[in-house]
Structure 1
């Protein structure tokens, strides 16, 4: 069962929640690259290409929170899963304008650009994997 977070009733930990994509960060970077192109052409073009890459990622990557794991899907096919039992910490960097999601497992560290609904991400994390 897939549930989408709503403002009226929060999902229970037993429900699977798929986060909606957010294009805010990629489009902000793309918009920022326009004046940079006028000052430093190659830096601006590189920034624009990176923004387009993030737009494609936001369109194809999905995070699903299940009862026990965070699952990562690309174009509907699961590519990784991260059991909450192996997490030691997580954080959303720069909460006023979230740009980066970090989480640490027992054996590795992961950084993801904020390509998902930040409020739904935070709600799922707080509910399923409270910070220790």
Structure 2
């Protein structure tokens, strides 16, 4: 929260003059800003001396910054995959068990280290509890940071047990670049912050459980 207060005043007070005051509040076009325009003062003199108008204003601006949000890790998907792989091994279905088990292990490892960081302006993928830079995107190039203003649309599949989050942005490519990420984060937190920062999705949000 940042605030600024500037004041200017001019007083003319002959006994024959009348002071009238007005106050207006004007909404700003910026997020969370309120602009106050106060003390519009008219001083009217006597008929013989004419009128003298003096305007003094106080401009105050209150700015509300959005806090950084980092959804909590969620291990449900890797646990389900590893459980499925274990079941396949138990029934001697080793061929499908191997790739499913490897995917489960990979997602388990990624859940411990990958973080979605929603700051005031953009979504960024960072690494570890120290939130280190993730480097260049290995698939499409460019930094793993995308401004909310470049989001075209996004979806969360499936809301009650989210597995994938999809979004399309125009920052990487003007024609649009699509991204898919496994939901290894708290789905409710992820959905809520995406709605707040990138606008509503066509899907409904995960139910509280």
Shift of 1:67: 1.2
Cα–Cα, structure 1 residues 44 and 125, in superposed 2: closer, same or farther, change >3 Å?
same
Report the Cα distance in structure 1 between the residues aligned to 2:80 and 2:116, rounded to whole angstroms.
22
Structure 1 stretches of 5 or more lacking a match?
A: 1-11
Shift of 1:45: 1.7
Show the counterpart of 1:32.
Answer: 84
Show the counterpart of 2:183.
Answer: 114
Report the Cα distance in structure 2 between the residues aligned to 1:17 and 1:94, rounded to whole angstroms.
22
Name the TM-score, length of structure 1 as normaliser: 0.85
Name the TM-score, length of structure 2 as normaliser: 0.55
Report the Cα distance in structure 1 between the residues aligned to 2:69 and 2:132, rounded to whole angstroms.
16
Show the counterpart of 2:148.
Answer: 84
* CA RMSD after TM alignment: 1.6
Report the Cα distance in structure 2 between the residues aligned to 1:14 and 1:74, rounded to whole angstroms.
22
Shift of 1:46: 1.6
Where has structure 1 moved over 6 Å in runs of 4 or more?
none
Structure in which a larger fraction of residues adopt helix: 1
Structure 2 stretches of 5 or more lacking a match?
A: 1-63, 135-143, 171-175, 202-209
Higher relative contact order (CA 8 A, sep 6+): 1
Shift of 1:13: 6.3
Show the counterpart of 1:14.
Answer: 66
Shift of 1:99: 0.6
Q: Which has the larger radius of gyration?
A: 2
Shift of 1:39: 4.3
Number of corresponding residues: 121
Report the Cα distance in structure 1 between the residues aligned to 2:65 and 2:114, rounded to whole angstroms.
22
